[in-house]
Structure 1
Amino acid sequence: MRVVVSGGAGFIGSHVVEALVARGDEVHVVDDLSNGRRENVPAQATLHVHDVREPLDAIAAETAPQALIHLAAQADVRVSVAEPARDAAVNVLGTVNVLEAARSTGARVVFASTGGAIYGECERPAREDDPRLPLSPYGTAKLAGEEYLAMYGRLYGARHVSLRLGNVYGPRQDPHGEAGVVAIFLGRLRDGEVCRIFGDGRQTRDYVYVGDVVGAVLAALTADGGVFNVGTGVETSVTDLYEACRRVAGSDLAPVHETARPGELGRSVLDPSLAQRVLGFTAATAVADGIARTWEHIRAS
C-alpha cells in the first residue's frame, strides 16, 4: 500500500511509519519538522518537508497514495487557549488540505482526533455517541476536523476514519515539550528536577501506549469508515502517574503543586469497546509497563 503520513517525523507518526515500513508499504512522510525530527524517519520512507497549512495537492499527485494518515497537529491545549487562530490554522485548515489531497487520488484518510479533549468532563468512560463538549480550542478544532471527514463522506462518498485517541505516551515523546506529561515527568526526574502538578493531582486521564495506538491506526486503514475511541478504558490520576514515574526512575523527589490551568479537564476516560469489536483493537500495555519502556528511552537519550 502507498501511504502518506502527515506528522510522520513526530512522536506518534514515526512509530506508525516504522510499522508501515516493516510490513512493506511504500511510505511518504509529510512534516514541516517544527516538532518532528528528520532522524525519526526511517531510510526506507521518503520525507517531504511541508507545512500542512499549505495545500498537499502536488505531493498527492507525485505519490498517488491509497491512504493518508493525518497525524500532523498543534497538540498543546494551553497553546490552543493562548493562540486559538494558530491552533485552528493547523488543526482545521490542515485537515481540510489533507482531505482535498485524498479526494484528488481517491485515498482513504485516517484522522487522529482526540478522545482526551472532545467529550468534556466524563462521568463514566465516554462512548462515541456521547455528547461532545470540548473545553478548549484544541478539542473544538479536532471536532471540526471530524465533522469535515463526515461531511466529505456525505458529499463525496468517502469512507474516512476518525480515531479519538486517549492520552498517548511512549518513546520519542518530547520531555521538553508542553504536552505529554509522562515524558515531561520522566525527563525532569532523569535530570534531578522537581516536577510540577497543576491542580490537586486528582484529575484523571486514559493513558494509552504509543505501540497500541499504532495497532489501531493500521487496523483503521481497512475499516469501512467510522469514529472510534482508542484508549484503555482505565483512568489514572496525575498523582498516581507521577508516583509510577518516580518509582521507575528511582527518585524520591516530591512534586510541587501549582494552580490548575484553564481548559483542562478533571476526568477523562474512554470506552474502547467499539474499536475492540470493529477494529480488533486492544490496548494491551499496562501503564506501569509503558512507563518503564518510556523511561528506558528517555534515560538513554
Structure 2
Amino acid sequence: MSNILITGGAGFIGTALAKKLKSLNHTVTLIDLEEKFSSIHDGFERFNLDIRYYKNFDQLNNLNFDYIYHLAAQTSSAISQEEPELDVNTNVKGTLNICNFARQCKAKKIIFSSSMATYGDKNGKIKEEDSQNPLSNYGVSKVAGEFYIKMFKQFGIENTIFRLFNVYGPGQDMSNLRQGMASIFMAQSIMSNEIKVTGSFDRYRDFIYIDDVADALLYGLDDDTNSKIYNVGSEKATTVKELIDMIIKVNDTAETDFKVINIGAHEGDQFGSIADVEKLKTLGWNPKTDINEGISYMYKYAKEVLK
C-alpha cells in the first residue's frame, strides 16, 4: 500500500477521496486550512497548511509520500473575477509549491484535479484533445496548474490530470453561496422560498456525482494513466431550469411556494459544457448515479446540515 498526501483533503472532493483510499488500506495524510477540518477527519493524520506559502511545508519535512493528490484550490469562477490575485496565489503559486514539495519528498506522481473551465464554451461533447480557451481567471489558473505539473515530469515526477465537470452531492459546502451551482440552489431552496439565478435558465452543465468522481480519481494510482488527461463527467447536459425543477421536486416545501428570480449574469461564466468520457471508460470506469437520484441524496444531506 502507498503513502498518499491529499491537498485540500478536508474539502468536498478531498474528504470523499480520503475515505475511499483509507478503505483500500492506503496511508492517507490530509493538508488543508485549519477551519476546513472537522470531526469527520479525526481518523486521518492532518496538517493545517496554506499552500500559498512554501515555508508552510516545513512541517512536512520528515515525511515522504508516494503519491500527491492535488485538489486544493480557489474554485469559484465568480470569486476569481473579483479577486484574481487570490486565485493566482492559491491555484498557480500554490500548485508550483506542491510541485516543488513533490520533488523534495521524492513523490513519484502528482494526480491533479483540473476543471472543465479550462475549455471555455464549446458545442457538443468536449474531448480531452480539444483546445483550451478559458473564460475566467479560474480557468486560466487551472491551465497554468496543468502546465506546471506536466513540466515537473523532467524531474522524475509523473502525473495524471483529471478535468472535473460539475461535481455535486452530499458533503458539498452548503454555506458557500458563491461556488457550486447545485449546492447554491439547494441551499437557497432550504433556507428561503427564493432561488436566485445568475444568467440564462438555458445554460447547461454536466453534473457528476461525488462518489463517481472519487472512483475516477482512484485510477490516478495506476501506471497506465501516467502522463494522461481524463475528463470526468456524466456525458449528459442538464439546464439550469431542469436542475431547479429537480431541486424543487424533492423539496418538502410546496412547489407553489417557491420564487425563482434571475439576478443577472457574472463575468467568466460558461454557457455550457458536456464531457466526452470515453477515454476514462476504457479504464473500466462508468458513472453510476443518475442526477435525479443524486439530487435526492443531496437534499437529505442538505436538510441535516442547514437545520
Task: Please report the TM-score for the alignment, with normalisation by the length of structure 2.
Answer: 0.93
Separation (CA, whole Å) in 1 of partners of 2:202 and 2:265: 11
Deviations 1:94-113 (A, max 9, x none): 11111111112332111110
Match of 2:288 in 1: 284
Which AA in structure 1 matches 2:12? F
Deviation, 1:151, is 1.2
Separation (CA, whole Å) in 2 of partners of 1:206 and 1:62: 41
Whether 1:260 aligns to 2:265 is yes
Which AA in structure 2 matches 1:289? E
Secondary structure of the equivalent of 2:274?
coil
Match of 1:232 in 2: 234
Which AA in structure 2 matches 1:38? S
Match of 1:214 in 2: 214
Which AA in structure 1 matches 2:146? E
Match of 1:3 in 2: 4
Which AA in structure 1 matches 2:267? P
Task: Please report the TM-score for the alignment, with normalisation by the length of structure 1.
Answer: 0.94
Do 1:30 and 1:48's aligned partners in 2 also have CA atoms closer than 8 Å? yes
Separation (CA, whole Å) in 2 of partners of 1:59 and 1:104: 13
Match of 1:245 in 2: 247
Which AA in structure 1 matches 2:242? D
Match of 1:89 in 2: 89
Match of 2:123 in 1: 123
Secondary structure of the equivalent of 1:150?
helix
Match of 1:15 in 2: 16
Do 2:150 and 2:227's aligned partners in 1 also have CA atoms closer than 8 Å? no
Which AA in structure 2 matches 1:131? S
Match of 1:32 in 2: 33
Deviation, 1:48, is 0.3
The equivalences for 1:52-201 within 5 A come to: 52-55=51-54, 57-107=57-107, 108-115=109-116, 117-153=117-153, 155-177=154-176, 178-201=178-201
Deviations 1:125-152 (A, max 9, x none): 1111101000000000000000111111
Separation (CA, whole Å) in 1 of partners of 2:15 and 2:62: 21
In structure 2, relative to structure 1, the CA distance for the partners of 1:109 and 1:51 (3 Å cut) is: same
In structure 2, relative to structure 1, the CA distance for the partners of 1:149 and 1:198 (3 Å cut) is: same
In structure 2, relative to structure 1, the CA distance for the partners of 1:230 and 1:170 (3 Å cut) is: same
Which AA in structure 2 matches 1:166? F
Separation (CA, whole Å) in 2 of partners of 1:58 and 1:132: 35
Do 1:92 and 1:145's aligned partners in 2 also have CA atoms closer than 8 Å? yes
Separation (CA, whole Å) in 1 of partners of 2:171 and 2:122: 29
Q: Which moved more, 1:265-274 or 1:101-110?
A: 101-110
Which AA in structure 1 matches 2:207? Y
Deviations 1:260-285 (A, max 9, x none): 111101111111111111x3222221
Deviation, 1:60, is 4.5
Do 1:125 and 1:268's aligned partners in 2 also have CA atoms closer than 8 Å? yes
Which AA in structure 1 matches 2:250? V
Separation (CA, whole Å) in 2 of partners of 1:205 and 1:162: 20
Do 1:275 and 1:281's aligned partners in 2 also have CA atoms closer than 8 Å? yes
Do 2:49 and 2:57's aligned partners in 1 also have CA atoms closer than 8 Å? no
Whether 1:298 aligns to 2:297 is no
Separation (CA, whole Å) in 1 of partners of 2:68 and 2:38: 19
Aligned residues: 296
Match of 2:47 in 1: 48
Deviations 1:219-251 (A, max 9, x none): 112232311101111111011001001101133
